[in-house]
Structure 1
């Protein structure tokens, strides 16, 4: 049951949206999305959460995973992520919208608010417990006209198509062909897309023979159930260092078992960042230029045994070739010790090709530094599209789609 905090739910909603707008994480505004989030009561879709938690800028779990080491099965997404994905989606009054990942039903309610009385919203989830929860919450809050279906989201909902807008609230490794068939030409798809160990909310516009992005933003979502193209494993005997990669990459963790115990080579650049300044674009550029880009995570104990610290221990890019590896790193500069700290970026390499791999990471740091907010363009083609019909760029093949990443 929601509890009283001293502030009304309306005040808390307005404060939350004010904070999201002030932060402005994507640089694009949509006043209609602001109004929707000021109007639809998030706390009413989270009746077991205290009011302050319902209006905090964080995700809220609604179904735990019985595996204690696994991610939750369902949650209410973080409000600022909900906000910028709706801005990316650009819903219009009267639109027909399909959502994958029903969650609490809150996002579907926002979509219904944006489509207006003449619009239609269908939300789906593979888990019947989740859809039952969403159905109850939508009915209880005056959104009984939102259609809720229980099925694999990859199947879509052809009975209500074609759709003007499609949005996924789960991380996708592939783009099912059914979505192409059910999204109208000129429509928009917003999806948390996963490749090379990273995840980004990509807004695509549907064209006749392809989909082309016009917005790529940082985000994190629970992965969809049933897409198993991602791999992960430890590369050390102490299980302190873990890699995440895609099935189309030639990465064999067993070849790296001895690499971290060898001498390392460190390469530095002149590029620096502040304590809260993003260097995420380096990873994106690596994914567009280096086929063997992946993700590395390290336990804090790894640094205690002499491993050089990745730039972000839980989420950093790496390059792997055979028995060699390199990853992004940073260190505090000696300049202006009394002011705001600055950190220079570089790379650490291990194994016979470690020095070369580290230098290749530095090449992309140099490319990123003068254009730090530049976004790649992702173009998606059906899986049977021949190479001759693809635009220039790095090609990543999935079972249902061919992705081309271009700067």
Structure 2
């Protein structure tokens, strides 16, 4: 006789995993089994059961201004990253960003009794709660320590697998030193205003990607390589760019007051089609790729109308700017209504930049599922030793993005 209530933790957990499997987020049998066994609700005790087993993040700590400092990640993203990590029984694993402890429990389940999981976090409140939850759920053998994740944890190195559950802007030397050659690093890496979960394989002298997926994470403390500044008098529109880019908000101030030009690519999308791959492709081809964010006032007044107001790709070059936009096409009876993708330009080179952005849209439209090759090389690697592609300089590494 089955006495499990439809709203019991077991039933809700089973339903969550069934949903992730049905929608294609969860494809690994081993990850599926781990997610069926580990009780997520025990790691987010302040959330109700429905929230604990919904496909959504659960914020567990906020700053005074409301900014999220720690959370339990979205289950579908957890599944995706664990599949990228490809944990094998008996492996040593380092997790940076202890969070609630839930992900460490899944890692412990995947690596088994012969393995070893270490999870670190810079916030002692976070590690205390994670250790408490891990102990209460039978995963007290996970090593939890409070330290700056940039330093990794040399105590159990070298690791076969290294995973970050916080957003990183750079790849510091400790992570390289503590990861075995042939090991895998999965990291939500930020460049040019967008974040991707990149699965890297460590070679002797560089890292190479073999999977790249869209994601978003609470940023790691202490990595401040992204700059930002407003470009209009009212402070309604903000640009975000990397430290290695020749972008100056002061030079672009009031550029949006200049006449605008539009360019349209001819590429169209339906209401549920993803187009985030355009931004990724731009980072491999256009050195001026950055992020633009417009608030409600900017959009309502027509000052700036990006496709997604809070985060859209843009091209900045000197005193000119173009940003990604979209327009709805007229409806045709019996056919799904579509939208055309394009760009809006401002400044002396605004039209040229808009045309270049549209060229990248068309390249994406030709093969919407293409993934780039991403390699990471130690900072200071000479240009003639890098592969062909767009080079992006960070403090510790040089990334090369190639389509």
Q: What CA distance in whole angstroms lies between the structure 1 residues aligned with 2:299 and 2:148?
A: 42
Counterpart secondary structure, 1:404? strand
Q: What CA distance in whole angstroms lies between the structure 2 residues aligned with 1:23 and 1:354?
A: 41
Cα distance, 1:189 vs structure 2: 0.2
Cα distance, 1:7 vs structure 2: 1.6
Q: What CA distance in whole angstroms lies between the structure 1 residues aligned with 2:335 and 2:204?
A: 53
Counterpart secondary structure, 1:136? helix
Query: Among residues 185, 207, 213, which one is paired with 2:209 in the alignment?
Result: 213
Could you say which residue in structure 2 is the equivalent of 1:340? 336
Contact 1:5/1:51 (<8 A) preserved: no
Contact 2:200/2:208 (<8 A) preserved: yes
Q: Residues 233-244 of structure 1 correspond to what in structure 2 (within 5 A)?
A: 233-244=229-240
Cα distance, 1:90 vs structure 2: 0.3
Could you say which residue in structure 2 is the equivalent of 1:47? 45
Contact 1:347/1:358 (<8 A) preserved: yes
Cα deviation per residue 1:237-278 (whole Å; 9 max; x = unaligned)?
Answer: 112111111111111112222211111000001100111111
Could you say which residue in structure 1 is the equivalent of 2:16? 16
Could you say which residue in structure 2 is the equivalent of 1:273? 269
Q: What CA distance in whole angstroms lies between the structure 2 residues aligned with 1:48 and 1:20?
A: 23
Cα distance, 1:67 vs structure 2: 2.5
Give the paired residue count. Answer: 400
Q: What CA distance in whole angstroms lies between the structure 2 residues aligned with 1:313 and 1:143?
A: 43
Q: What CA distance in whole angstroms lies between the structure 2 residues aligned with 1:377 and 1:280?
A: 17
Cα deviation per residue 1:339-383 (whole Å; 9 max; x = unaligned)?
Answer: 322111010000111000000000101111010011111101111
Could you say which residue in structure 2 is the equivalent of 1:149? 145
Query: Among residues 175, 178, 200, which one is paired with 1:179 in the alignment?
Result: 175
Structure 1 length as normaliser, TM-score? Answer: 0.96
Q: What CA distance in whole angstroms lies between the structure 2 residues aligned with 1:176 and 1:308?
A: 37
Could you say which residue in structure 1 is the equivalent of 2:63? 65
Q: What CA distance in whole angstroms lies between the structure 2 residues aligned with 1:374 and 1:236?
A: 36
Cα distance, 1:388 vs structure 2: 1.9
Cα distance, 1:6 vs structure 2: 4.8
Cα deviation per residue 1:323-354 (whole Å; 9 max; x = unaligned)?
Answer: 21100111111252553221110100001110
Q: What CA distance in whole angstroms lies between the structure 1 residues aligned with 2:394 and 2:305?
A: 32
Q: What CA distance in whole angstroms lies between the structure 2 residues aligned with 1:271 and 1:394?
A: 24
Deviates more, 1:338-347 or 1:363-372: 338-347
Q: What CA distance in whole angstroms lies between the structure 2 residues aligned with 1:320 and 1:353?
A: 10
Contact 2:5/2:11 (<8 A) preserved: no
Q: What CA distance in whole angstroms lies between the structure 1 residues aligned with 2:311 and 2:18?
A: 29
Q: What CA distance in whole angstroms lies between the structure 2 residues aligned with 1:35 and 1:6?
A: 20
Deviates more, 1:281-290 or 1:8-17: 8-17
- Confirm whether residue 374 of structure 1 aligns to residue 370 of structure 2: yes
Query: Among residues 82, 86, 110, which one is paired with 1:90 in the alignment?
Result: 86
Counterpart secondary structure, 1:81? helix
Q: Residues 53-132 of structure 1 correspond to what in structure 2 (within 5 A)?
A: 53-68=51-66, 71-132=67-128
The runs of at least 4 aligned residues of structure 1 exceeding 3 Å deviation read none
Cα distance, 1:389 vs structure 2: 1.6
- Pair 73,24 (structure 1): closer, same or farther in 2 beyond 3 Å: same
Q: What CA distance in whole angstroms lies between the structure 1 residues aligned with 2:347 and 2:254?
A: 8
Structure 2 length as normaliser, TM-score? Answer: 0.97
Q: What CA distance in whole angstroms lies between the structure 1 residues aligned with 2:69 and 2:197?
A: 20
Contact 2:184/2:201 (<8 A) preserved: yes
Contact 1:5/1:52 (<8 A) preserved: no
Query: Among residues 277, 287, 290, which one is paired with 1:291 in the alignment?
Result: 287
Instruction: Give ranges in structure 1 of 5+ residues lacking alignment.
Output: none
- Confirm whether residue 359 of structure 1 aligns to residue 347 of structure 2: no
Q: What CA distance in whole angstroms lies between the structure 1 residues aligned with 2:5 and 2:337?
A: 37
Q: What CA distance in whole angstroms lies between the structure 1 residues aligned with 2:193 and 2:24?
A: 25
Counterpart secondary structure, 2:246? coil
Instruction: Give ranges in structure 2 of 5+ residues lacking alignment.
Output: none
Contact 2:237/2:304 (<8 A) preserved: no
C-alpha RMSD of matched pairs (Å): 1.3
Counterpart secondary structure, 1:73? strand
Cα distance, 1:23 vs structure 2: 2.2
